[in-house]
Amino acid sequence: MSALELIYSLFALSPPCNPPESTLAEINKKVVGDFFAKKIFSDRVRKGLKFLFNLKGRA
């Protein structure tokens, strides 16, 4: 038994393996998220939200 196998057995760890491949749903979520992130975090939206939250603070 090698030292690495001993460590894995002591801590009940599984040996490292390749990460699973992305599913179609995960790929779509990433693409859509990247697309809308540019719009959601634009300066125009950020300024609008800042304005609205400042109005709430004055009430």
Phi, psi of 21 (to 5 degrees): -75, 150
The pLDDT tens digits for 15-58 are 566 667 788 888 899 999 889 888 888 899 889 988 988 887 66
For 12, which DSSP code?
T
d(CA 56, CA 36): 26
Domain limits of the chain?
21-59
Q: Is the pTM of this model over 0.85?
A: no
Please give, one letter per residue, the 3-state secondary structure of 31-47: HHHHHHHHHHCCHHHHH
d(CA 32, CA 55): 32
Phi, psi of 18 (to 5 degrees): -70, 140
